[in-house]
Amino acid sequence: MDQYVPCVERLIEQFHKLPGIGRKSAVRMAFYILGVKNETAEAFANAILEAKQKIHRCSVCGDLTDGDKCRICQDPKRDHGVICVVSDPKDAAAIERTREYKGVYHVLHGVINPITRVGPDDIAIRELLDRLGEGVREVILATDPDAPGETTAMYIARLVKPFGIKVTRLAYGMSMGSHLEFTDELTLNKALEDRKSF
Amino acid sequence: MDQYVPCVERLIEQFHKLPGIGRKSAVRMAFYILGVKNETAEAFANAILEAKQKIHRCSVCGDLTDGDKCRICQDPKRDHGVICVVSDPKDAAAIERTREYKGVYHVLHGVINPITRVGPDDIAIRELLDRLGEGVREVILATDPDAPGETTAMYIARLVKPFGIKVTRLAYGMSMGSHLEFTDELTLNKALEDRKSF
pLDDT at A2: 59
Helix H or strand E segment including A168: strand A166-169
Q: What is the mean pLDDT of chain B?
A: 90
pLDDT at B2: 59
Identify from B49, B69, B70, B109 which residue to disrupt to test chain A contact, counting A C-beta atoms within 10 A and taking the largest count.
Answer: B49
Residues A65-99 have pLDDT tens digits of 998 999 999 999 999 999 999 999 988 988 888 88
- Residues A173-177: what's their mean pLDDT? 81
Residues A108-124 have pLDDT tens digits of 999 999 999 999 999 99
Query: CA A26 → CA A30, A32, A106, B128, distances in Å?
Result: 6, 10, 35, 30
Quote the percentage of chain B above a pLDDT of 70: 98
The answer to whether the Cβ–Cβ distance between A18 and B41 falls below 8 Å is: no
B26 or B98: whose pLDDT is higher? B26
pLDDT at A145: 86
pTM of the shown model: 0.74
The amino acid at residue A155 is: Y
- A107 has a pLDDT exceeding 90: yes
Contact of A4 with chain B, judged by CB distance below 8 Å, is answered with: yes
- A29 has a pLDDT exceeding 90: yes
Contact of B163 with chain A, judged by CB distance below 8 Å, is answered with: no
d(CA B73, CA B62): 10
pLDDT at B41: 94
d(CA A68, CA A56): 8
- B1 has a pLDDT exceeding 60: no
d(CA B111, CA B86): 9
Helix H or strand E segment including B141: strand B138-141
A residues 73..112 contacting B (CB < 8 A): 88-90, 93, 96-97
The ipTM, to two decimals, is 0.74
Contact of B162 with chain A, judged by CB distance below 8 Å, is answered with: no
Residues B111-161 have pLDDT tens digits of 999 999 999 999 999 999 999 987 899 999 999 888 899 999 999 999 999
